[in-house]
């Protein structure tokens, strides 16, 4: 057997493909995908694979794209392999290559789902890996970007990342198998083509084995990224709490994490929200990190409706529309005592100290602590906000509605139902984390005060 063909078959044998799998092969008609098809068909009887072709017509190259579709259909007929063809529309704006890639993979996954297949195979080679790593480097990236394309991304398998484009060409020659050329692959107005035809040849004058060097480096960095992700996942679990469509991050604890864990953790959170990080660039991660660490809102500069909303309670990383959590009804509060709330606990205790100590505590108490007059504990309840709620905050010039208070303090709608509202004698005495009522606040000259502590779940609100 030809050495190049043997290398292609060996790559398929070691790929994460189980015997009997239903495999959808992404076949454009180009050399890489045709070699993938022929090699997979050669091994299919031995491995008991059920093979199907998926071809995506992007509608971008006119008669040439029609020619590609015709070629692939003819090839499928000759090989006796069933085929699905999907015609897609590539949206305008931004990079045509990037937009085409997004719709192409979406179409392939739709084909796989309709068929009930197990995995999608693509013909990316070591040469494609080298180009991808350099493109990521030029754009600015971290470990994941320098790690290039993994062999497996969910249901997507790239078995040929360890073989070269020269191997593909040689294997097709031995098989006597034709393929089609995409004329846009030589157009150096496209950045990838410029890397392929201008930059990599120049680098080969310094390092003839540059493709394999970059591939080996990317493999090592993927291992490093995998370990870092595992550590970052554990770290983020201690500083964040997910909800449908959003995640709350406790900024104070987040700032204490190592910068590498912060960046990796943010990528994981974005992947959890969006399903992937395909459009997340190093600049996006840097902007997110700054916004979360400094408790600043961030709406622009982020992909796919991803936003950061800063609140007095922390930072919310959100995708799409906000979900509205359920309210909780009035719950009686024992004084002293502790009560469990849907998203944390509320504790009340009497604080006895000198007037100087009381005055100092009033000055340094954080937003989750309130010092109230000792007599305020009568008929105390805690509840969610209600329409028309008002209070006069300490230091305020008059009464304000809770609606206006939430807007003024930047609390997003998704969190407003979760903020405990403490009443005594039918009057609001504290909006946890936001404001103490003027007529309920302990005075600096007091020697006894009512200390109310709100502890959000795991130190933060869900």
CATH code: domain of residue 384: 3.50.40.10
Domain for residue 224, yes or no? no
Q: The domain containing residue 272 runs over which residues? A: 238-319
**Window from 267-271, 348-352, 408-412, 457-461 with minimum mean pLDDT:** 457-461
Are 26 and 70 part of one and the same domain?
yes
Residue 323 has pLDDT above 70, yes or no: no
Domain count for the chain, please give it.
Answer: 3
Domain for residue 232, yes or no? no
Residue 138 has pLDDT above 50, yes or no: yes
Query: pLDDT tens digits, residue range 23-38?
Result: 999 999 999 999 999 9
d(CA 431, CA 374) in angstroms, rounded, equals: 18
Residue 439 has pLDDT above 60, yes or no: yes
Domain boundary among 289, 319, 349: 319
Are 314 and 335 part of one and the same domain?
no
Averaged pLDDT, 201-221: 96
Report strand pairing: 22-26 vs 50-57: parallel
Query: Residue 8 in contact with residue 163, Cβ under 8 Å?
Result: yes
pLDDT score at 458: 45
pLDDT score at 1: 67
pTM given for the model: 0.68
Concatenating the DSSP letter of every residue in 163-230 gives S-HHHHHHHHHHHT------GGGG-TTSHHHHIIIIIHHHHHTT-TTHHHHHHHHHHHHHHHHHHHHH
Are 209 and 248 part of one and the same domain?
no
DSSP code of residue 116: T
The winner for highest mean pLDDT among 193-207, 331-345, 346-360 is 193-207
Residue 330 has pLDDT above 80, yes or no: yes
Query: Residue 141 in contact with residue 149, Cβ under 8 Å?
Result: no
Domain for residue 228, yes or no? no
d(CA 1, CA 9) in angstroms, rounded, equals: 10
Q: What percent of the chain has pLDDT over 90?
A: 54
Are 242 and 151 part of one and the same domain?
no
Are 351 and 409 part of one and the same domain?
yes
pLDDT score at 305: 79
- Calculate the average pLDDT of the chain: 89
Phi, psi (deg, nearest 5) at residue 389: -55, 135
Are 132 and 200 part of one and the same domain?
yes
CA separation, residue 432 to residues 159, 173, 284, 379 (Å): 55, 74, 33, 18
pLDDT score at 459: 44
Q: Kindly report the number of other CB atoms within 10 A of residue 240's CB atom.
A: 24
pLDDT score at 414: 64
Residue 460 has pLDDT above 60, yes or no: no
Are 251 and 380 part of one and the same domain?
no
Are 341 and 297 part of one and the same domain?
no
- Sheet-wide strand order for 314-319: 240-243, 246-249, 314-319, 306-311
Are 302 and 209 part of one and the same domain?
no
Domain for residue 412, yes or no? yes
Spatial neighbors of 264 by CB under 8 A, at least 6 apart, are 142, 143, 225, 228, 229, 231, 232
**Window from 314-323, 352-361, 444-453 with minimum mean pLDDT:** 314-323
Closest by CA to 153, choosing from 278, 297, 312, is 278
pLDDT score at 300: 60
pLDDT score at 50: 98
Residue 321 has pLDDT above 60, yes or no: no
Domain boundary among 319, 353, 382: 319
HSE toward the beta carbon, residue 336, CA cutoff 13 A:
8
Domain for residue 94, yes or no? yes
Residue 190 has pLDDT above 80, yes or no: yes
Are 139 and 28 part of one and the same domain?
yes
Domain boundary among 217, 249, 275: 217
Query: pLDDT tens digits, residue range 80-103?
Result: 999 999 999 888 776 788 888 889
CA separation, residue 307 to residues 214, 297, 459 (Å): 35, 8, 23
Domain for residue 144, yes or no? yes
Using DSSP, state whether 56 is helix, strand or coil: strand
Are 153 and 18 part of one and the same domain?
yes
Higher-confidence position of 11 and 1: 11
Higher-confidence position of 184 and 213: 213
Residue 325 has pLDDT above 90, yes or no: no
d(CA 189, CA 329) in angstroms, rounded, equals: 63
CATH number at residue 9: 3.40.50.620
Domain for residue 201, yes or no? yes
CATH number at residue 284: 3.30.465
Spatial neighbors of 249 by CB under 8 A, at least 6 apart, are 239, 240, 269, 292, 314, 315, 316, 317, 460
Residue 45 has pLDDT above 80, yes or no: yes
For 441: left if phi > 0, alpha if psi spans -120 to 50, otherwise beta; the answer is beta
N- to C-terminal Cα distance for the chain? 61
Query: pLDDT tens digits, residue range 368-426?
Result: 888 898 888 778 999 999 889 999 998 888 899 999 998 887 776 767 787 899 999 88
Higher-confidence position of 221 and 418: 221
pLDDT classification of 277: cutoffs 50, 70, 90:
confident
d(CA 338, CA 419) in angstroms, rounded, equals: 17
């Amino acid at each position: 057997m030809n050495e190049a063909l043997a290398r292609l078959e060996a790559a398929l044998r070691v790929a994460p493909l189980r015997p009997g799998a239903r495999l959808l092969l992404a076949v454009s008609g180009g050399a890489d995908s045709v070699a993938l098809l022929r090699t997979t068909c050669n091994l299919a009887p031995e491995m008991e694979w059920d093979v199907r072709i998926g071809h995506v017509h992007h509608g971008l190259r006119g008669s040439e794209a029609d020619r590609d579709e015709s070629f692939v259909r003819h090839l499928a007929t000759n090989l006796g392999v069933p085929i699905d063809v999907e015609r897609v529309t590539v949206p305008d704006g931004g990079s045509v290559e990037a937009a085409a890639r997004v719709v192409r993979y979406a179409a392939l996954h739709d084909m796989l789902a309709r068929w009930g297949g197990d995995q999608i195979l693509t013909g990316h080679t070591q040469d494609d890996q080298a180009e991808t790593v350099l493109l990521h480097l030029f754009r600015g990236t971290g470990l994941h970007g320098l790690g290039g394309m993994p062999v497996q991304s969910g249901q997507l398998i790239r078995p040929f990342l360890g073989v070269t484009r020269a191997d593909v060409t040689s294997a097709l020659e031995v098989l006597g198998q034709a393929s089609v050329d995409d004329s846009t692959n030589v157009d150096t107005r496209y950045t990838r083509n410029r890397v392929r035809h201008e930059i990599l040849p120049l680098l080969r004058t310094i390092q003839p084995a540059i493709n394999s060097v970059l591939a080996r480096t990317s493999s090592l960095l993927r291992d490093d990224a995998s370990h870092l992700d595992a550590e970052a996942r554990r770290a983020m679990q201690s500083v964040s709490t997910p909800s449908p469509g959003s995640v709350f991050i406790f900024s104070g604890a987040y700032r204490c994490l190592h910068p590498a864990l912060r960046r990796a953790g943010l990528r994981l959170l974005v992947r959890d929200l969006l399903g992937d990080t395909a459009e997340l660039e190093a600049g996006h991660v840097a902007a997110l990190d700054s916004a979360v660490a400094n408790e600043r809102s961030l709406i622009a500069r982020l992909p796919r409706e991803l936003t950061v909303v800063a609140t007095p309670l922390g930072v919310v990383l959100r995708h799409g529309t906000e979900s509205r959590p359920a309210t909780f009804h009035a719950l009686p509060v024992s004084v002293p005592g502790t009560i469990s709330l849907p998203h944390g606990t509320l504790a009340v205790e009497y604080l006895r100290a000198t007037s100087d100590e009381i005055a100092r505590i009033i000055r340094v108490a954080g937003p989750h602590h309130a010092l109230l007059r000792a007599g305020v504990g009568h008929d105390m309840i805690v509840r969610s906000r209600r329409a028309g709620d008002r209070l006069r905050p300490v230091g305020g010039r008059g009464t304000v509605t809770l609606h206006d208070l939430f807007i003024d303090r930047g609390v997003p709608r998704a969190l407003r139902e979760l903020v405990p509202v403490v009443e005594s004698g039918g009057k609001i005495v504290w909006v946890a984390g936001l404001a103490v009522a003027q007529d309920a606040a302990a005075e600096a000259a007091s020697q006894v005060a009512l200390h109310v502590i709100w502890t959000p779940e795991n130190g933060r609100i869900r």
